[in-house]
Chain A
Amino acid sequence: MPTLLFYILAAITLLSTVLCLTRKNPVHAVLYLVHALFALALLYFLLGAPLLAAWQIILYAGAIMVLFLFIIMLVESPVADQSSRRLSRWLPPAALSGSLLVCGGALIVMDPAATAVISSYWLTPRDFGCALFEHYGLAVEIISLILLFAAVGAFHLGRRYRPNSKEDVS
């Protein structure tokens, strides 16, 4: 049962992240990301780390994403299209958050104190390091490169829109 929950929660996390990346409206993207963070917090809870789960919500969902939202709210948002009454518009988020709610409820009922639900997933920091950098070494490198690209890309985008000539002013 815990293993099944683990896979459901992992699927919810991935789905919300994908939806976050594909949204055109930045505020919707933030909402999906917050949703992914919630699912992640439940995963921590499932792995027997309620403290980490609480910090995940307080720091990431409660502080960092709010800062993101703060900036995004100042950016002019696209006009909401009026087709948003359609079922297909609100069914995915409703289904996602509904299943997250059910998972959370099941988790709390099963093990309110979060006493190591999936014990077979325990790893020492040493094992974890070895697994991360030996087995998944390439993936770690790719992720770090992607972050570098993102930083360079953000820098480039920021440069291009600088008012560079006097024509703009006049």
Chain B
Amino acid sequence: MNDVLLTFILIVIKLGLVLGTVLSLAAYMVLAERKILGRMQMRHGPNRVGPFGLLQPLADLIKLLCKEDLIPERADRWVFMLAPAISTITALLAFAVIPFAAPLHLFGRTIPMVICDLNVGLLYLLALSSLAVYGVALGGWASQSKYSLLGGLRAMAQMISYELAMGLAIVPVVMSSQSFSLTAIIAAQQTLPNAIRHPLAFLIFVIAIMAESKRTPFDMPEAENELVAGFHTEYSGMRFGMFFVGEYLNLIVLGAMLTVLFLGGWHGPLLPSVCWFLIKVLGVAFFFIWVRGTMPRLRYDQLMAFGWKILVPLGLLNILVTAAWLLWRG
């Protein structure tokens, strides 16, 4: 009984740690994005609230909480209110299976640094990313506005198409580590990260997650110059805030996925494993912001054609080659 209680307490502690870290990281990711984008465009970015603008996320939060929560008259009330929650929750739930550090040895016990080491962890992540589509689609539909609807439809089509490429890029990783468990996948990368072992899959995965997170150059669902703000046009106050936070949480989730699947997880020399994990995740996030500051937006037909005609066939070919190679090696 004591053992069960201890395990329970440990899980609660881990939950609190992960939730706190991830939420504050998401808030500061917004600030980081604004700062870095500002520097890339030869301006300063937010620098008025607190030293170096460090309290800006707090000010934003207070502003969003104080704003009026508007619901359009003809909107489908409950679906409208539900959609932002789906967006945020699917992003938050993903952290349950991501191992963020090497197992800790404390008082003769081995504590795995992951909330739940699911043996189908990878499929769990894929399931959550496919459910995330609902938040966007329902938000767009329930607003009863043409801009929202078009944004929602675009987001749906885009996310479904690129999910396929993402799934195909993951298959070689699963083949070489022979497990769906994220812990086992990290363990298989102790000597060589999968990014070097499967370079093509790595490339496809990076492009696919960029499209999956609906960021430039794939930000068609919220293209300002044609759709106002896409699926969240009609949202205001904290409901918009939830979509916004969900987006940045998603950025961290996808960064963590890339780290776990291709960049060797928490493996690294000298520094403690948590530090390596954070460095890699934040590095990926910085890369995403960098791309946003550099690349123009694609046209919608280009986007779909690229997904279906280039990424998916390449992914399939990559699986074939990897399988043949693994078979040949025995």
Contacts and interface: CB of A to CB of B under 8 A. Distances in A.
Nearest to A57: B127
Interface string B118-138: 111001101100110110011
Given A50-B119, A50-B120, A73 B141 contact: yes
A112 B137 CA distance: 32
A67 B134 CA distance: 11
Interface in A64-105: 66-67, 69-70, 73-74, 77, 79-80, 82, 84-85, 89-90, 93
B74 A74 contact: no
B157 interface: yes
A27 B76 contact: yes
B317 to A, nearest CB: 22
Contacts of A80: 74-77, 144
A74 B123 contact: no
A128 to B, nearest CB: 23
Nearest to A113: B119
B160 A58 contact: no
Interface string B145-175: 0000100110011001001000000000000
A77 to B, nearest CB: 7
A70 B142 CA distance: 13
Interface string B287-313: 000000000000000000000000000
Given A50-B120, A54-B123, A27 B130 contact: no
B127 A27 contact: no
A50 B180 CA distance: 12
Nearest to A62: B130
B325 interface: no
Interface in B88-143: 116, 118-120, 123-124, 126-127, 130-131, 133-134, 137-138, 140-142
Contacts of A69: 134, 137, 141, 156
A89 B76 CA distance: 12
A25 B142 CA distance: 12
A66 B156 contact: yes
Given A27-B79, A66-B134, A84-B78, A51 B123 contact: yes
B78 A58 contact: no
Interface string B65-81: 00000000111111100
Interface residues of A, number: 32
A55 interface: yes
A62 B77 contact: no
B77 A55 contact: no
Given A27-B141, A61-B131, A62-B130, A90 B79 contact: no
Contacts of B130: 57-58, 61-63, 66
A61 B123 CA distance: 13
Nearest to B96: A108
B124 A54 contact: yes
B236 to A, nearest CB: 19
A34 interface: yes
A31 interface: yes
A108 B157 CA distance: 33
Nearest to A69: B137
A34 B126 CA distance: 17
Nearest 3 CB-CB pairs, A to B? Answer: A62-B130, A54-B123, A57-B127
12 contacts: A50-B118, A61-B127, A62-B133, A63-B130, A63-B160, A69-B134, A70-B157, A73-B152, A80-B77, A82-B73, A84-B77, A112-B118
Interface of A: 25, 27-28, 31, 34, 50-51, 54-55, 57-58, 61-63, 66-67, 69-70, 73-74, 77, 79-80, 82, 84-85, 89-90, 93, 108, 112-113
Given A80-B77, A112-B116, 12 more contacts: A27-B138, A28-B79, A51-B120, A54-B127, A55-B123, A58-B123, A58-B130, A66-B134, A66-B160, A73-B137, A73-B153, A84-B77
